[in-house]
Structure 1
Amino acid sequence: MRVLLVEDDDGDALLVEALLEEASAPFVLSRAGTLAEAEEMLADSECVLLDLGLPDSHGLAGLHRLLAKPDAPAILVLTGHDDEQEGINAVAAGAEDFLIKGKVDGELLLRGVRYAVERRRADFAEFQLRETSLLAAEQSRLERGLLPPPLLQGSDVGLDVRYQPGGQRMLLGGDFYDAVGMPDGTVHAIIGDVCGHGPDEAALGVCLRIAWRALVLSGAPAEKVLQTLDQVLVAERHGEGIFTTACMVTVAPDRRSARYFLAGHPEPLLIAGTQIADLPQSKIGVPLGVLPDYAWTGVDVPLPSGWSIACYTDGLIEGRVPDDVDRLGVERLSEILHRQLQEGPDWMDSVIAEVTELNGGALDDDVAILLLKDGK
């Protein structure tokens, strides 16, 4: 155990060394004569024996300075015979304990150092656990905002969703989705991805998802929804370069046609039975937050009997492929999906599992899939 003695008095320093030798303590003892020297040596120490009367510090000022250092070690304060109250004050200020010079033997000093170090470790572990718990709770709230229950009660359009966090689990992403059924039978859906990972990106995704639901429920024309979301993004984002990709789909009340809009997002996949149908040529459009006053245009698609529309975020196509420098891509994803469709209708988990296996482990980015299905 590495112990740093901060003591300017040679006699007191020799006494501490003798006490540790008397107890056969397994310590590596270093010494600093001033607080400035101690600050330079602090990173290599597990415990500090601190005299409160130093040439460049007096009283609790030195203790406060050391405790303010990142990852400060355990600190035991050394006081004189008449300074017991100062030792008590030091403990109240953050020291692990205090010892009175001249009233301590080697065994007591040994136990004091060991206790101080273990208590410091326990406090640090408790702090980490509390921070982790708070982070997990915050991420859970953000995920509920990003991935809400859809508003499709009474609709004949089925909905299936999947969400898989990326490999860096503690860095929550900004993938979001939502679906809303209107009184006239129209069904609207959106899937989006805020660039980057972290609580700011996730919070922005929640903001956009809530704004989208509000706009749809208010009856705003589909052509205007993305333009308004673009304005919301620019107003709410935390950095100038933050953008969001999105795919928005509107299914007509008769279920015979759909219109989709792309804002820099991968094109959806139209599934007819066990086949992937070709979509009309579309203009992908720029992501939200890139060009002011940009007008996104929709693409009309006739829907075959038994149709499904699969929308997904790019985490699904950006995985690695063995012996290939390119990413998976849409073409390979379509091949995987076509093969899995032959196995049965429950293909979503199988596709994610195969893409993950090809990647050689957990995907770097979050994956979200939203599947709209003809319920007639």
Structure 2
Amino acid sequence: MSSGDGDHDGAEPAHGSLPCVLLVEDDDGDAVLVDELLSDAEIDVELRRVVSVSEAEDEVATGSVDCLVVDLGLPDAVGLDAVQRLRRAGTRHAAPPALVVLTGLGSVDRGVEAVAAGADDYLVKGEVGPDLLGRSLRYALQRRRSVAQERALYRSEVRAAETERLEKALLPRPLVEDPAVSVMVGYLPGGEGLLGGDFFDTVETADGRVLSVIGDVAGHGPDEAALGATLRTAWRTLVLTGTPPEEIFAGLETVLRTERARPEIFVTLCQVTIAADRSTVDVCLAGHLAPMLLTGPVGGVRCSVVRPVERGRALGVPVPGGWPTQRIPLGEPFAVLTYTDGLVEASLAAEDPPGPAAGGRRRGALRVGLAGLADLVQDELDTDGIVGIVERVLRRVRRLHGGPLVDDAAMLVVGWTGADDVPGERSSTLADSVEWAR
């Protein structure tokens, strides 16, 4: 219902035409009193009511509540439990609802404690009138709007800083001299556009081998991004100092155990080593998804998923086992496509234009999946070839998902054109969510 006929003086809603005030009160008499006070307070709001903290948590979860007015004497909350629970529920949203508590005449101290615990204001039953109630709600709603603006500014500043770090640390310049080697990379940040721990790199050694790695740090956020950048730098250092490919993962695990913030953090990796004569590819997996091989002449490139003989354990997981290497012979121009699980875990929330790829399936499928991603890559190869394949696949997956992905997604394609006079493609794509939303 709507209460009051005057201006709402800065109380702008996040949803709907009026700010939504949710009264959490199990006493019918007190609920009627609050309704009457709001009617006289000259503040336009939509007043709704629930009788327990559990019901209030469900309402807050919808994101439609702008302000909570909470009685501290509820049947399913003791002491400040109501304030703490509702504050936790609100943190899931960019603009958590404001919170005003109601206390009895003999519980003023509890009101002060509630403010210290995170409430915006407190009101004493029996002493509050229309003016005081209206002023308290206006203040709480205005504070909520200010917090939302500050968070938006912070996210914008962090995104800019993280993007700069991404370009320097997670999208490094490949150290490859062979002009016939292609290196195509792309990164699509998930969530709010902040970085996670996906990373990749490619280095050509003095003897002509080309080593590539793609990795995924468990988790999402600045700590994981920093750890991913550290591991990428460590990997490059190990390669440049002549560490045999089969010993690199052990060195990286030592760095991981030293640098990770929590002992439960682990990392998955896929390392690809292209022989100096380009006749074989060695694949080493540490709990990571298997790569895809792109083989065949221009205009007829085929995509196939490597079937790993054995998959090594993820780095940082306290279980026995090493990291076996699988050698794949190749006799023609090829490319190896590696990726992180943000691509296969993307949901199919939006329809895709009809086509033979699994990505063309309609609503109903839960996620892209490995087979769907392989079909999608093949569809893009059949349509426009291998040039620009990374950016096209990232755009397609994002479109299928219906917007920014939940998790980060990275893709690295390293290949050989088959002749020195046929130059390989070199490209780097930072798929910024804001830019791609235009």
TM-score by length of 2: 0.58
Q: Structure 1: how far apart are the matches of 2:99 and 2:291? A: 57
Asked if residue 209 in structure 1 is aligned to residue 250 in structure 2, the reply is no
Aligned counterparts, 1:90-105, within 5 A = none
Q: From the superposition, tell whether residues 134 and 304 of structure 1 become closer, same or farther in structure 2 (CA, over 3 Å).
A: same
Match of 2:189 in 1: 165
Q: Which amino acid aligns with 2:209?
A: T
Asked if residue 185 in structure 1 is aligned to residue 185 in structure 2, the reply is no
Q: Which amino acid aligns with 1:345?
A: I
Match of 1:331 in 2: 371
Asked if residue 26 in structure 1 is aligned to residue 67 in structure 2, the reply is no
Asked if residue 340 in structure 1 is aligned to residue 363 in structure 2, the reply is no
Match of 2:337 in 1: 310
* Aligned partner of residue 176 in structure 1, secondary structure: strand
Kept after mapping to 1: 8 A contact 2:282/2:325:
yes
Q: Which amino acid aligns with 2:151?
A: Q
Q: Structure 2: how far apart are the matches of 1:120 and 1:358? A: 38
Kept after mapping to 2: 8 A contact 1:139/1:172:
yes
Q: From the superposition, tell whether residues 219 and 292 of structure 1 become closer, same or farther in structure 2 (CA, over 3 Å).
A: farther
Q: Structure 2: how far apart are the matches of 1:373 and 1:203? A: 28
Kept after mapping to 1: 8 A contact 2:162/2:194:
no
Q: Structure 1: how far apart are the matches of 2:325 and 2:189? A: 30
Q: Which amino acid aligns with 2:250?
A: Q
Match of 1:226 in 2: 249
Q: Which amino acid aligns with 1:300?
A: R
Kept after mapping to 2: 8 A contact 1:227/1:293:
no
Aligned counterparts, 1:1-376, within 5 A = 26=42, 68-70=116-118, 72-73=119-120, 120=143, 123-125=146-148, 127-140=150-163, 142-144=165-167, 147-152=170-175, 154-156=177-179, 157-166=181-190, 168-170=191-193, 172-272=195-295, 273=297, 274-276=300-302, 279=306, 282-291=309-318, 294-319=321-346, 320=348, 322=362, 327-343=367-383, 344-346=385-387, 347-359=389-401, 361-375=403-417, 376=420
Q: From the superposition, tell whether residues 46 and 348 of structure 1 become closer, same or farther in structure 2 (CA, over 3 Å).
A: closer
Could you tell me how far 1:221 is from its partner in structure 2? 0.7
Q: From the superposition, tell whether residues 206 and 122 of structure 1 become closer, same or farther in structure 2 (CA, over 3 Å).
A: same
Please list the CA deviations of residues 75-119 of structure 1 after superposition, one character each: whole Å capped at 9, or x if unmatched: 9xxxxxxxxxxxxxxxxxxxxxxxxxxxxxxx9x99998996787
* Aligned partner of residue 322 in structure 2, secondary structure: coil
Kept after mapping to 2: 8 A contact 1:227/1:294:
no
Q: From the superposition, tell whether residues 177 and 112 of structure 1 become closer, same or farther in structure 2 (CA, over 3 Å).
A: same
TM-score by length of 1: 0.66
Match of 1:83 in 2: none
State percent identity of aligned pairs.
34
Could you tell me how far 1:290 is from its partner in structure 2? 1.8
* Aligned partner of residue 175 in structure 2, secondary structure: coil
Q: Structure 1: how far apart are the matches of 2:337 and 2:82? A: 59
Match of 2:423 in 1: none
Could you tell me how far 1:228 is from its partner in structure 2? 1.4
Q: Structure 2: how far apart are the matches of 1:370 and 1:299? A: 19
Q: Structure 1: how far apart are the matches of 2:328 and 2:413? A: 16
Q: Which amino acid aligns with 2:189?
A: P
Q: Structure 1: how far apart are the matches of 2:212 and 2:341? A: 17
Please list the CA deviations of residues 162-183 of structure 1 after superposition, one character each: whole Å capped at 9, or x if unmatched: 11123x2256322111112223
Please list the CA deviations of residues 191-213 of structure 1 after superposition, one character each: whole Å capped at 9, or x if unmatched: 01122222332222222112111
Q: From the superposition, tell whether residues 329 and 146 of structure 1 become closer, same or farther in structure 2 (CA, over 3 Å).
A: farther
Q: From the superposition, tell whether residues 259 and 204 of structure 1 become closer, same or farther in structure 2 (CA, over 3 Å).
A: same
Q: Structure 2: how far apart are the matches of 1:46 and 1:281? A: 54
Unaligned runs of 5+ in 1: 3-19, 31-38, 49-53, 76-106
Q: Structure 2: how far apart are the matches of 1:284 and 1:246? A: 11
Q: Structure 2: how far apart are the matches of 1:277 and 1:150? A: 26
Q: Structure 2: how far apart are the matches of 1:65 and 1:174? A: 39
Kept after mapping to 2: 8 A contact 1:178/1:190:
yes
Could you tell me how far 1:316 is from its partner in structure 2? 1.9
Q: Structure 1: how far apart are the matches of 2:332 and 2:237? A: 31
Q: Structure 2: how far apart are the matches of 1:221 and 1:45? A: 58
Q: Structure 1: how far apart are the matches of 2:376 and 2:403? A: 17
The count of aligned residue pairs is 324
